[in-house]
Amino acid sequence: MRYPVDQRAETHEKIIGAASRSFRERGSEGKSIATLMKDLGLTHGGFYKHFESKEELYLDAIQRGLEEAGDRMTAAAKAAPKGKELRAVIEHYLSPAHLEHVGAGCVIAAIAQEIGRQPLSVREKINDAMRAYMNRLFPFMPGDNVAEKRRQFLILFPGMAGVLMTARAMTNSSAQKEMLSAARKFYLEAFVEKIEK
Amino acid sequence: MRYPVDQRAETHEKIIGAASRSFRERGSEGKSIATLMKDLGLTHGGFYKHFESKEELYLDAIQRGLEEAGDRMTAAAKAAPKGKELRAVIEHYLSPAHLEHVGAGCVIAAIAQEIGRQPLSVREKINDAMRAYMNRLFPFMPGDNVAEKRRQFLILFPGMAGVLMTARAMTNSSAQKEMLSAARKFYLEAFVEKIEK
DNA sequence: TGTACATCAGTGAACGCGCGTTCACTGATGTAC
DNA sequence: TGTACATCAGTGAACGCGCGTTCACTGATGTAC
């Protein structure tokens, strides 16, 4: 049957959105194409009208995930009072909400380890998206010049990602919260408080 | 045929050792039982004379990995001059060798994200092994009392794990090295240099 | 000491299952006349 | 305005494949006598 004009594009976007969440929550092999499509009220055959392979979807979904995560972080910064941008970014990143919502959160904290196991060509494209993410956020970092801001970013963000990922591996939720708040305090002191005064 | 008396135990250990490396390098689903056994010169059928299921092997191998990684770290500390133990631990953890040797390295930096996706019962057992790892290492942390040392451990180690995992997701090896050495400098300043003087 | 038998780590064919992918088909709507 | 036809997003049966797991079997050596 003939479908409404915009339906193709809408379905395409819905698949990427659902995959982006699913890959972060369950990894690249956690959900089959059939299940992914079924969750959207579709059948698996139609998938190949939108993507050449699951790997192509993986790339699109991860890139989308990094864009969305970048949106959230820059939005948090821009909503903060002048001079408090980095504080807001750290508090958002190391928040209980981010701990809980893997599927909508930082891609690195969710699936960096399986990114490291992808074929080189996949890793390179994801690296481009990671660089774009960094380029949106390093301006909020302390430092006099671009090189210093980037250097600070590359210490702070991987560190925070490690905290989130380790907390998520733990089962004791009060220990998770303690870890988060201890890390929040540490990174705020190390990156923000020496600046704000 | 009848095999030498110790062979059963030796084979059992060899399987755990190979799995412990493989799971860190490729994740829990990266290698089949058949391939794992073939690499040891065995066939897949015999596997079930040693383990009830792949999940049982996963648990044993991860626990073994945490023990071995703990051995390496405490050995690095004990080989260091008096008062330089934590420095040695950080330099070992954030070394190019550790970056490269995923299979023999920190379990958290290798597979924490998939640990977070395991069934609760599996996660709980792995959490016990993680606690044991922490208990061997927190004595080297700065602080007057046990609670403070643990708190410091839970900031430092997840942070370093995040650095390693993020570097491993990158394809540019000079950027990886720069990230490692910047992080080394940062964590040494934050955890060691304020103490050593 | 010599012989018959039991043992059991390891073998490899076979199983059911879920996966990614393919493909002939559907049918409501847009378009050509 | 009315009719015939083309379009193409989505359907669902079918495919080959690799996986975890099972199980009847093997056969060199230990043990009982």
Q: Please tell me whether any atom of strand C lies within 7 Å of the Cβ of A185.
A: no
Identity of the residue numbered A100 = E
pLDDT in tens, A34-91: 999 999 999 999 999 999 999 999 999 999 999 999 999 999 999 999 999 999 999 9
Q: Is residue B163 within 8 Å of residue A159, measured between CB atoms?
A: yes
**Chain B residues near residue A24 by CB distance under 8 angstroms:** none
Q: What is the pLDDT of residues A135-144, one digit of tens each?
A: 999 999 999 9
Q: Tens digits of per-residue pLDDT, B61-95?
A: 999 999 999 999 999 999 999 999 999 999 999 99
Chain B 26..45 CB hits on strand C (< 7 A): 37, 41-45
Could you tell me which of B113, B171, B67 has the C-alpha nearest to residue A110? B113
- Tell me which residue has tokens 């040695």: B88
Start-end of H helices in B27-53: 33-39
Cβ contact B117:B55 at 8 Å:
no
Q: Check residue A6 and give its pLDDT.
A: 84
Q: Does B160 touch chain A (CB under 8 A)?
A: yes
- Confirm if B176 and B167 have CB atoms less than 8 A apart: yes
Chain A: residue whose CA lies nearest to B122:
A171
CB-based contact, B147 to chain A, within 8 Å: no
Instruction: Tell me the C-alpha distance between B19 and B31, whole Å.
Output: 9
Nearest-angstrom CA–CA distance, A104 and A110: 10
